[in-house]
Structure 1
Amino acid sequence: MNKLFSFFLMLFLLGSVAVFAQDYTSKVPRFTFGNQPEEQQKQLKDNLLIKRFQQSRKELSVDKHRPYYHFISPEGKLNDPNGLCFWNGKWHLFFQAYPPEDPRQHWGHAVSSDLVHWRDLPYAIYPGIERMSFSGSTWVEKDRVIAMYHGVDAGNMVAISDDPLLLNWTKISDKAVIAQPDPSEGLPYSPWDPNIWKKGDKYYSLMGGNLYNGPGGKKVRANFLFESADLQNWKYLHPFVEGDRYSYIGDDGSCPYFWPIGENGKYILLYFSHKSGGKYLLGDYDQVNDKFNVTDGGNFNHGPASRGGVHAPSAYPDGKGGVIAIFNMNTGKEIGEGNYTELMTLPWRLTLDVDERLQISPAGDYSSLRGRHSSVSEMQLPANNEFTLPEISGNAIEIDLTLDPKDASAIELKVLCSPGKEEYTRITFYHDGGYLNRDYSGPAIRTSAISIDNLNSSISDKVDFRMPETADVQIKDGEPVNLHVFIDRSIVEVFVNNRQCVALRTYPERDDSKGVSIISHGKDAVLKSLDAWQMKNIYQ
């Protein structure tokens, strides 16, 4: 009887293991590629997924809001960008993709030589050990690229690739390298969105999260640091950032990216907050105690995280003191409307000025996409008179204009305008209209501000309108104001003097919502110059 009981107990336990050790193998076709560039190119030419992506892009191109020159998934939706890196002379962008036959998170993959034109590649990292392959980052070594990411229901994972186009990825273990801790251990972290780098002979991983150690026990952003000598065995060290006063109560530190920036030893930590969107911290890296001492911080998203905001970052140094960053923009329409929900911003180049303030400019050279050119020569802008610019029109267009605001309190540019103003998106520069920059470390200076407002951008009842996206920007007395505007069907990005950027989703419904007008509020101003180009479609 005891032997029979033992036999059935063994069968029960084996069955239990089978139930809980689930096989999450993806249903998406997977391919192994050669290790020589010529061989890979030949294989890609006839690859089933590449042909499927090409057909999907063709079919989805009929959507009036689908962008021409911002990156978007070739099929279905996307979410966070992941593991942006430079390898073998090319930029590689990975992203949360949802293949139609298995819509769990996989790592999608695209490659570019100029950060402007993107080429689709097959899915890179597939779920298998993990239920879904969530967000993470990459670390580039001389002979390989290391990806560290969150595997849902497993923990944080490591995969490695070393081929020319990073087509073949191998997970280094049949389990997570950082597993979910036992609650009895009393550890503060939960595996999430890891960032990876190397210092000396040790690897470091920074994990997103938060702690209940804010005022009144409220949640605040926290990022947890780990150390490893071999990528498989990781030791928890401590919270990486202390004394940060730039994050909001309720922020978390998801999708962290930690890199050197500038020429004076400064570092930047980019991250995503599920409350307030894309954010950053600047400061000094204490490499003895492995702590980040924050000296400044701010937002890439200037409002709530959702409804058409700047979402999660992926970032990598450009080798010239700057950091290239790209963000997904979440949807501003009801979920389920259209054939996608999110797209990527243009790649931004982040640098520091002489006062170690963050500067933001377009990372790529977009002259290769410029088509028909239109321009407006210098013209006076008498106060409170709106001027329609008939020469300038389009919904996939680049506009580069320079203003002398003189004493005007605000200058407003309407874009994506219908002839009767039933639809328009408002871009407003508020001259000396930002916060009083008073930290008692120097003279009080009134900043200017840049704002995008989409409240009148669409007549559709499916659009979720967003509060105006408004950010400070410092403009010196007498300095010309440059607005570099990128409009791409359902996204508007505005760079101001290569110091600040605001971005917003917008969904004009009318086919004739393509006009542009300008008005100076309060007092006269001068439009010094305006150039505009129709932009080509990078997917055709």
Structure 2
Amino acid sequence: MHYTAADTWINDPNGLVYADGVYHLFFQNNPYGTDHSNMSWGHAVSPDLVHWRDRPVAILCDANEQIFSGSAVVDHGNTSGLGEPGTAPLVAVYTSHHTDKSPTPGIEAQSLAYSLDGGETWRKYAGNPVLDRGSAEFRDPKVFRYSAPSGAYWVMVAVEAVERKVVLYRSDNLIEWTYLSEFTSTAPVGRIWECPDLFPLPVDGDPGNTKWVLIVNVTYEEGRGGTAGLFFVGDFDGVAFTALGGRGSTGRQPEWELLDYGRDFYATVSFNDVPDGRRVLVGWMSNWDYARILPTSPWRGAMALPREASLHTVDGRIVLRQRVVAGLEPGGASRSVGRTDIPAGTHPLGLAWGSGPCLIEATFDGGTSAEFGILLRQGGAEATRIGYDAERACLVVDRRASASTDLGPSFPSRETAPVELDGGSLELQIYLDASSVEVFAQGGRVTVTDLIFPDASSTGVALYSEGGAAQLTGLTLTPLEDTPVERAAESLRAEDGRAFSRSRASA
């Protein structure tokens, strides 16, 4: 159900683009093994964001550069001149992380690669890099086509990571870039900013009322939770982005909010050119605090389920909602539980479920309970607790008893996310897989994504309530088709086993 590589390391999604009926997912990849090094762009394709097929490594690192994060566009007008008659090139804009063997060791600059056969093979542009600030922390370009009254042009959104600022550039041809502006928050959050994205969305489905969403992924100070994604809602005039909230603003709009309140939704970016103007997000389902020691084999690293984002007005402010894209198929008959009282205590449901993927849709009435919810993958002392803390008005995902192995001090965690009940009711959609849980509350108004690694024997499902009684209004558990990735007949690991060192924690 979740995309993983066959037998290599993956992290950030890169180059997300829809072209000629195909969704292209590129990603940070070590084509030589399962450790974090030799960064290159791996590649997978899908007709529907559900069924994936591996393709060969797209852009391979070499002695002079590692291929860090970036984006891809279809250059329909061949503005770059990299296409051929009748063939619009796919152009990847990526960060060249220059190695010690490069003429500019340690510098990060933006470079191009292009494909004339639908993404199957790639050539690096001979004039790389195309944008160099002389910085060691200038990375992760997201490029898109912007239409202005005076004409269309390309916009690049990148970061100066340590300075915690987004920098914007424009170009007519993807090769020559001109500085536009920069953006940072009034109270910068995190220690490092990475993997930005900027895109428009209609508010409440009204194309006459469009706002822009700026996503920034952050690495926190040590002991603060590792990594996370956040977003700003505001306006973009083709030159600068301005957030609605922040210092000096009025109203209820916060300057920024978390994109997901879990520990494992990072480096999130969106697809370019999705049909019907939809905005689909993909995040790396891991956290730099423990990504290197996760107990998976022969692969390491996975993507969260693709999500469609939308903006809505709620209680005088604009909120971002996320829903898993349509297309996941039932893998068996659904099982339902009707209205059920939940007195104080833990109450098994008799819906024991194995490690296969499933969707759990549940609605609760809070009643007099101080905290209520559901326990998943329960067995012995193990369980993942998903519930609602009525006193603090927050969704709770507690995985402190969710792993059967030691994954370090930051893995056992209790996530909380502010959520208001609707008429006393809590609505949950829970996508449960062998080693992950993705929780969507109140129609996707709040999401929590966490990895879990319970013992295979922990298969129970139970309801719980504390400090009073609650009620389950209804619950449906639907097995989901596993949709394994279509792998090549042989491993897609690169044949050349040379290793190139990597000098920072994340891309």
TM-score relative to the length of structure 1: 0.74
Tell me, yes or no, if the aligned pair for 1:463 and 1:507 is still in contact at 8 Å. no
| Structure 1 segments (4+ residues) deviating >4 Å | 317-322, 331-334
What residue number does 1:351 align with?
310
Equivalent position of 1:323 in the other structure: 279
Which of 415, 419, 430 is the matching residue for 2:376?
415
CA displacement, residues 295-333 of structure 1 (integer Å, 9 cap, x when unaligned)? 342113437xxxx53221121264455421111122547
SS at match of 1:149: strand
**How big is each residue's C-alpha offset from its partner over 1:261-282, in whole Å with a ceiling of 9 and x where there is no partner?**
1232201111211214211111
In structure 2, give the amino acid aligned to 1:198.
Answer: R
Instruction: Give SS of 2:271's match.
Output: strand
Gaps of 5+ in 2: 77-87, 99-107, 221-226, 246-254, 486-507
Residues 508-537 of structure 1 show CA distances to partners (whole Å, capped at 9, x for unaligned) of 1x3210111111223322212111123332
Task: Determine whether 1:310 maps to 2:310.
Answer: no
Does the 8 Å CA contact 1:205/1:226 hold for their aligned counterparts? Answer: yes
Structure 1: runs of 5+ lacking an equivalent? 1-68, 182-187, 212-218, 435-447
**1:282 and 2:233 aligned:** yes
The match for 1:86 among 12, 18, 36 is: 18
Assess if the C-alpha contact under 8 Å between 2:7 and 2:300 holds in 1.
Answer: no
Tell me how far 1:101 sits from its aligned partner.
6.9
Residue aligning to 2:4: 72
Determine if contact 1:278/1:313 at 8 Å carries over to the other structure. yes
TM-score in terms of structure 2 length:
0.78
Give the structure 2 partner of residue 258 of structure 1: 198
Structure 2 counterparts to residues 16-415 of structure 1, below 5 A:
69-100=1-32, 104-128=38-62, 130-142=64-76, 143-153=88-98, 155-164=109-118, 166-181=119-134, 190-199=137-146, 200-210=151-161, 221-239=164-182, 241-242=183-184, 244-245=185-186, 247-248=188-189, 250-262=190-202, 263=207, 264-275=209-220, 276-287=227-238, 289-295=239-245, 296-302=255-261, 309-316=264-271, 318-320=274-276, 322-330=278-286, 332=290, 335=293, 337-339=295-297, 340-355=299-314, 356-366=318-328, 368-382=329-343, 384-396=344-356, 397-415=358-376
The alpha-carbon deviation at position 236 of structure 1 amounts to: 2.7
Query: Equivalences for 1:456-467 in 2 at 5 Å?
Result: 456-462=401-407, 464=409, 465-467=411-413
Q: CA deviation at 1:134?
A: 0.7
Match of 1:515 among 460, 484, 506: 460
Instruction: Name the aligned partner's letter for residue 90 of structure 1.
Output: V
Report the Cα distance in structure 1 between the residues aligned to 2:256 and 2:128, rounded to whole angstroms. 36
Cα deviation, residue 71, structure 1: 0.9
Counterpart secondary structure, 1:512: coil
Aligned partner of 1:95: which letter?
F
Q: Is 1:491 aligned to 2:436, yes or no?
A: yes
Distance of aligned partners of 1:100 and 1:334 in 2 relative to their CA distance in 1, 3 Å threshold? closer
Cα displacement (A) at 1:482: 1.6
Cα offset for 1:130?
4.7
Residues 4-53 of structure 1: CA deviation (Å, up to 9, x unaligned): xxxxxxxxxxxxxxxxxxxxxxxxxxxxxxxxxxxxxxxxxxxxxxxxxx
Q: Number of matched residues? A: 429
The alignment partner of 2:214 has SS state of strand
Letter in 1 for 2:412: R
How far apart are residue 99 of structure 1 and its match?
1.1
CA 1:426/1:247 → structure 2, altered by over 3 Å: closer, same or farther?
A: farther
Over aligned residues, Cα RMSD in angstroms? 2.5
2:386 maps to which of 421, 427, 441: 427
Between 104-113 and 126-135, the greater mean CA deviation after superposition:
126-135
Shift in Å at residue 481 of structure 1?
2.0
Contact 1:495 1:502 in 2 (8 A): yes
* RCO higher in structure (CA 8 A, sep ≥6): 2
Report the structure, 1 or 2, having the larger strand content: 2
Would the alpha carbon gap of residues 463 and 533 (structure 1) be closer, same or farther in structure 2, given more than 3 Å must change?
farther
Residue identity in the other structure for 1:527: L
Q: Equivalent pairs: percent with the same residue?
A: 27
The more displaced of 126-135 and 384-393 is: 126-135
Q: Is 2:4–2:300's contact at 8 Å kept on the other side of the alignment?
A: no
SS of the aligned residue for 1:178 comes to: coil
Specify which of 434, 446, 460 is matched with residue 500 of structure 1. Answer: 446
**Alpha-carbon deviations, 1:345-371, whole Å to 9, x = none?**
1111111113421112112332x1432
- Structure possessing the higher radius of gyration over alpha carbons: 1
- 8 A Cα contact 1:374 1:392, kept in partner: no
CA contact (8 A) 1:137 1:314 kept: no
Tell me what 2:398 maps to.
Answer: 453
- Structure 1 residues 135 and 497: alpha-carbon distance in aligned structure 2, compared to 1, 3 A threshold: same
How many angstroms apart in 2 are the aligned matches of 1:517 and 1:336?
Answer: 27
* Secondary structure at 2:231 match in 1: strand
1:477 maps to which of 420, 423, 447: 423
Q: Which residue of 1 aligns with 2:480?
A: 535
Deviation of the 1:473 alpha carbon: 2.3
User: For residues 115-155 of structure 1, what are the alpha-carbon distances to aligned partners after superposition, in whole Å with 9 as ceiling and x for unaligned?
Assistant: 22211111112224852111001223433332211011162
Alpha-carbon shift at residue 342 of structure 1 (Å): 2.0
Change (3 A) 1:403 1:365: farther
In structure 2, the CA distance between the partners of 1:93 and 1:393, relative to structure 1 (3 Å rule), is same
SS in 2 for 1:386: strand
Please identify, of 73-82 and 151-160, the stretch whose mean Cα deviation from structure 2 is larger: 151-160
